[in-house]
Amino acid sequence: MTSTSPRQTVLVIGSGVAGLTAALEASDAYDVQLVTKAELNQSNTWYAQGGVAVVTSPDDSVESHVADTLVAGAGLTDAEAAIVLCSKGPAVIAEMIERGVKFDMKDGKLAQGLEAAHSHPRILHAGGDATGAGIAVALIDQVRRSPIQVHESTTVLDLLIEDGRAVGVSVLGGREIRADHVILATGGAGQIFPYTTNPQIATGDGVAMAIRAGAIVSDLEFYQFHPTALDAPGNFLVSEAVRGEGAVLIDSEGKRFMTDVHPDAELAPRDVVARGIAAQMAKQPGVPVRLDATMLGAEFLAKRFPTIDAASKRQGFTWGSEPIPVTPASHYWMGGVRTDEWGRTSLPGLYAIGEVACTGVHGANRLASNSLLEAAVYATRCIEGLTSHPPVHEWDAEWGAPIVANLLDGADTVPFLRSDLQRLMWDAAGLARDGDHLAAAASQLAGWETPEVLDAKSAEDANLLIVSRAIVAAALAREESRGGHYRTDFPDVAPSFAQHSALLAKPPIQALA
C-alpha cells in the first residue's frame, strides 16, 4: 500500500495584492492559510489609485521601464531586482486579467496613462482611479472560491521561532498558527505619521515582528511622502495621474511655483514635489497650496477620476471649477524586511513580499505606480522559489553588514499616546530631518513604554513604537540627503552613503505574546 506524504503548509499574513497573489499561487501545491487583522478588503492595495506601471505597448520597452526605475531610485535601486520587476510584469498582468481584473480599455486595447518620471505612457488603471480596489475585488473573489483557509479579524502578535527558523505565528487570544513557510505581506506603516494616505491598519506590524524575531531590516529611513493629499479630514489621496493629465500646483496668489523648483515641474519625482510644496507652504506660511485641475473640466474629472471626484464633493469642493487645497502625506515605505529577489529573508522559513519587504527595487525613492506591480511580481517569485531555490538568502556584499541598534530595551518607562508618537515622527522624521531633532526623537522614543498587549490597538501601538525607533536610528545613521530621506544638516548626496542601510535589533529579543 502506497502512502502519500502530507502537503507542506504556507501561512500568508496580509490581504493586499501581495498576500492575495501569493496565497493563490501557492494553493495548487500547498495547503494555504491566509490571515488578516481586518476584513480581506482592508489593505493599502484597496486604496491605491494611481495604477500599475507595466510595459504593454510596442512603443515602450522593458529597458525603458528599468531605466526610469533606476533614475527614480536615486542611485540605490538594485538593478537586478528592477530587471525582474519590469521583465516579469507583463506576464503577471496577464495572469491578473485571467483572474478577473478588468483594466480600463481604449479602442480595444489596454488604456495607458502617463505619470511622473515615466518616459512612456505605461500606467494601467481599473475603474479610473480605483485601480487597487479593482484588483483586490477580483483576487478576493478568487480566494473565496479556492481551498485557501481565510482568517479575518485575526491579529498576529509575533513570529514563532524554533531552532532559528520561523515555524508560525502567535495570535491575539493565545492561539498559534503553524506552517512550513511563513510569508509576511503586511504592507507599510503610514500610521506612524499624523498625515497619511494609508488606511488605519498600516501600522508596521510585519517589520516590527521581524525585528523582534531577529531578522535584518533595510532602508527604513526612506519614506515616500505623496505630494498631493486633500487637505481635509482623512487626507484622501489625489492621484499623481491628475497631474499627469495636466493639473498644476499654485500658490496662495494663484501662480505656479514648481516650475522654479525642477525642470519637470509638477511631474518631477515625488520627493522633489513634496518638498517643493512644503517649502511653499512655509512661505505662505502654513496655508495649503492648491491643485488646479479646472482646465480639465468637471465632466472629464468625474469620468476619469470618479473616486477623487466623489471624495472632493463630500468635503465641499468642486474641483472642476475651483482649485483644491492639497498637502504632502506619508504614502509608501521603500524600506522593510530585507529580502532577495525570491522573497527570502535572513531568517530561515520567513519570507516577505510587497511593501513590508525591501528587495532594493525602489532604491531611495519608488517610481510612481511600481508598487502594485512589485507586490504581484514578487509574490509570484516567492512561491516559485519555495521549491526551486535554497531556503536561506545568501547576502550580497554590496548591502554591507547591518548596524546593531538598541531598538528593544530602552528606558521604556513612560506611557505614550499614538497621537504623540505621530506628531513626534512628523516633526523629527518627516519631510525634512536633522541630526539634533532625530537624536531628541530617539531619546524620547527610548523612554516610552512598550504597551501591554490587551487588544488589537495596543498591539499596533507596540509595533508603531519599535518601527519608529528603527526609522529614527536609520535616519540618524545616513548623513546625507537622497530620495525620500532629506537632511537639512546634510543636504547633498554623499558618495560614501551610496549603499543600502541595514539594521539588526540588539539582543535580547522580545516578543509581545
- Position 245 scores a pLDDT of 93
Residue 348: all three cell numbers together? 530561515
Residue 101: Cβ-neighbour burial (10 angstroms; 0-12, 13-18, 19+):
buried
Determine the average pLDDT of the residues in 61-88: 97
Per DSSP, 316 falls in state: T
Average pLDDT, the chain: 92
d(CA 383, CA 380): 5
Tell me the per-residue pLDDT of 365-418, one tens digit each, with 9 for 90 and over. Answer: 999 899 999 999 999 999 999 988 777 766 565 666 788 888 886 666 789 999
More confident residue, 409 or 430: 430
Is the domain covering 225-329 a CATH 3.40.309.10 domain? no
Supply the pLDDT for residue 413. 79
* Contacts of 336 by beta carbon, 8 Å cutoff, 6+ apart: 206, 207, 217, 218, 219, 220, 352, 355, 356, 357, 358
Cα–Cα distance between 148 and 125 in angstroms, integer?
28
Q: Which of 122, 212, 243, 270 is catalytic?
A: 270
Q: What is the pLDDT of residues 136-182, one digit of tens each?
A: 999 999 999 999 999 999 999 999 999 999 999 999 999 999 999 99
Answer yes or no: is pLDDT of 234 > 90: no
Question: According to the model, what pLDDT value does residue 409 have?
Answer: 66
* Whole-angstrom distance, CA of residue 63 vs CA of residue 44: 28
pLDDT computed for residue 399 by the predictor? 67
> What is the pLDDT, as a whole number, of residue 248?
97
Planar angle of CA 117, 378, 334, nearest 5 degrees: 50
CATH 3.90.700.10 residue ranges for the chain: 225-329
For residue 195, CA distances in Å to 232, 330, 369 come to 10, 6, 20
Residue-by-residue DSSP string for 327-364:
EEEEEEES-EEE--TT-B-SSTTEEE-GGGEE-STTTT
Name the grid cell of 87: 521583465
**What single-letter DSSP state applies at residue 497?**
G
pLDDT bin (cut points 50, 70, 90) of residue 1 is very low
What pLDDT score does 509 carry? 61
Q: Which of 197, 185, 190 is closest to 223 using CA atoms? A: 190
Q: What are the cell numbers at 47?
A: 486604496
pTM: 0.92
Choose between 240 and 204: higher pLDDT.
204
Q: What is the DSSP letter of 36?
A: -
State pLDDT tens for residues 78-121: 999 999 999 999 999 999 999 999 999 999 999 998 887 899 99
Question: What's at 349, amino acid-wise?
Answer: G
pLDDT, residue 3, reads 46
Three-state SS string across 177-224, please?
Answer: EECCEEEECCCCCHHHCCCECCCCCCCCHHHHHHHHHCCCEECCCCEE
**Is the separation of the CB atoms in 453 and 157 below 8 Å?**
yes
Give start-end residues of each CATH 3.50.50.60 domain in the chain: 9-186+334-388
pLDDT digits (tens, 9 = 90+) for 472-488: 999 999 999 999 999 99
Mean pLDDT across 334-340: 96
- CATH fold for the domain made of 9-186+334-388: FAD/NAD(P)-binding domain (3.50.50)
- Tell me, yes or no, if 270 is annotated catalytic: yes
Q: So what's the pLDDT on residue 2? A: 46
**What is the tens place of the pLDDT at every residue in 258-311?**
999 999 999 887 788 998 998 899 899 878 999 999 999 999 999 999 989 999
